[in-house]
């Protein structure tokens, strides 16, 4: 079962991620009264990127991007294998470090600025991510994903505040406005393409595939909030993920990019208010 779900994740996550990205682009277009690209556009993009000439700006960028991909895949596999959630989140942060190193390995000032901003973004979402992991531990008595989804009640009953907080910070992970400081899927003229400025062709394609793995991983964590021992919690979790994803798209289209200071302040206030208070109540209850 475990092996199956890991293999399923490794194969299906990029496909599902690409499809979600396609849906996201169409919904965004409709919100702006445009027709939007075809549903399979992300796959066309990746296919094209692989067929382009390789312009290597240095020897390590490709390697670092590959590490980003591999580490994300490992982090996701841990979640889908039902292993330790804390470990999974740590590997997720490690993966991000590879991306930052990859971006700062080249000489473009835009990429370096993007890498700096990515670091700030990590500082913004990391505290809440840890609080969420502790929240899972307090509500289920274990860090193991398999125990968390085997509980009698969904974790969200104990940690609604953390869910709201996690929805807030997930916009950073999804690279959605207003938090798309380091790079974004849309035209990003103020510092060209940020983090990915010097990535071209296959290097960018690999980064995109890694992002799809990450997207599914984050949605998987959202699922954890809703899953419990009963079968009906699965459709419920998937429906909740769909709603959350739609809300992120809506928010993306309704807001403009923030400055990094506002990002940091707002994320930490949300972390304290929703995550911290929720954690305190949980500690008193349990």
Task: Quote the least distance from Cβ 138 to other proteins, whole Å.
Answer: 44
Q: Is 44 in the site for other proteins (CB under 8 A)?
A: yes
Task: Quote the least distance from Cβ 199 to other proteins, whole Å.
Answer: 7
Q: Residue 216's closest CA among 4, 1, 19, 2?
A: 19
Interface pick for other proteins out of 59, 189, 231, 285 (rule CB under 8 A)? 189
Q: Spell out, one character per residue from 54 to 73, where the chain touches other proteins: x when CB under 8 A holds, - when not.
A: xx------------------
> Please, are residues 178 and 255 in contact by the beta-carbon 8 Å criterion?
yes
Q: Is 45 in the site for other proteins (CB under 8 A)?
A: yes
Q: Is 188 in the site for other proteins (CB under 8 A)?
A: yes
Contacts of 238 (CB under 8 A, 6+ apart): 223
Exposed / middle / buried, residue 47 (Cβ in 10 Å: 0-12, 13-18, 19+): exposed
CA separation for the pair 107, 72 (Å, rounded): 25
Q: Which residues of 182-220 are buried (b: 16+ CB within 10 A; e: fewer)?
A: bbbbeebeebbbbbbbbbbbbbbbbbbbbbbbbbbbbbb
84: DSSP letter: B
Task: Quote the least distance from Cβ 166 to other proteins, whole Å.
Answer: 30
Give 38 or 109: the residue with its C-beta nearer to other proteins.
38
Give 154 or 197: the residue with its C-beta nearer to other proteins.
197
Q: Hey, how many other C-beta atoms are within 10 angstroms of the C-beta on 41?
A: 15
Interface pick for other proteins out of 3, 187, 284, 285 (rule CB under 8 A)? 187
Give 84 or 198: the residue with its C-beta nearer to other proteins.
198
Task: Quote the least distance from Cβ 209 to other proteins, whole Å.
Answer: 15
Task: Quote the least distance from Cβ 201 to other proteins, whole Å.
Answer: 5
Number of residues binding to other proteins, judged by CB under 8 A: 31
- The β-bridge partners of 144 are 84
CA separation for the pair 178, 196 (Å, rounded): 18
Q: Residue 233's closest CA among 167, 150, 138?
A: 150
Q: Is 51 in the site for other proteins (CB under 8 A)?
A: yes
Give 49 or 219: the residue with its C-beta nearer to other proteins.
49
Query: Residue for token digits 């473009």?
Result: 108
Q: Is 193 in the site for other proteins (CB under 8 A)?
A: yes
Residues within window 195-214 making contact with other proteins, judged by CB under 8 A: 196-201, 204
Conformation bin of residue 151: beta by default, left when phi > 0, alpha when psi is -120 to 50: beta
Q: Is 269 in the site for other proteins (CB under 8 A)?
A: no
Residues within window 24-43 making contact with other proteins, judged by CB under 8 A: 25, 29, 32-38, 41
Q: Residue 152's closest CA among 250, 261, 84, 228?
A: 228
Give 84 or 106: the residue with its C-beta nearer to other proteins.
106
Interacting residue ranges for other proteins, rule: CB under 8 A: 25, 29, 32-38, 41, 44-45, 47-48, 51-55, 187-189, 192-193, 196-201, 204
């Amino acid at each position: 079962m475990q092996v199956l779900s890991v293999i399923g994740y490794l194969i299906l996550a990029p496909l599902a991620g690409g499809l979600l990205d396609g849906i996201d682009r169409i919904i965004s277009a409709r919100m702006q009264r445009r027709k939007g690209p075809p549903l399979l556009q992300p796959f066309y993009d990746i296919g094209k990127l692989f067929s382009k000439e390789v312009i290597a700006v240095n020897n390590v960028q490709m390697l670092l991007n590959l590490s980003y991909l591999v580490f994300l895949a490992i982090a996701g596999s841990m979640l889908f294998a039902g292993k330790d959630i804390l470990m999974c989140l740590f590997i997720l942060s490690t993966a991000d470090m590879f991306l930052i190193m990859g971006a700062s390995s080249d000489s473009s000032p835009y990429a370096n600025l993007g890498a700096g901003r990515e670091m700030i973004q990590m500082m913004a979402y990391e505290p809440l991510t840890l609080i969420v992991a502790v929240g899972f531990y307090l509500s289920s008595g274990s860090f193991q994903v398999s125990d968390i989804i085997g509980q009698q009640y969904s974790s969200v009953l104990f940690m609604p505040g953390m869910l709201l907080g996690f929805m807030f910070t997930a916009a950073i992970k999804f690279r959605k406005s207003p938090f798309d400081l380091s790079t974004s899927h849309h035209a990003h003229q103020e510092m060209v393409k940020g983090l990915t400025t010097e990535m071209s062709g296959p290097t960018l394609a690999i980064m995109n595939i890694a992002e799809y793995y990450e997207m599914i991983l984050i949605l998987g964590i959202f699922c954890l909030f809703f899953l419990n021992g009963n079968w009906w919690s699965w459709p419920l979790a998937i429906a909740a993920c769909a709603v959350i994803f739609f809300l992120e798209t809506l928010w993306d289209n309704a807001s403009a990019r923030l400055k990094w200071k506002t990002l940091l302040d707002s994320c930490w206030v949300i972390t304290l208010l929703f995550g911290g208070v929720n954690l305190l109540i949980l500690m008193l209850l349990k």
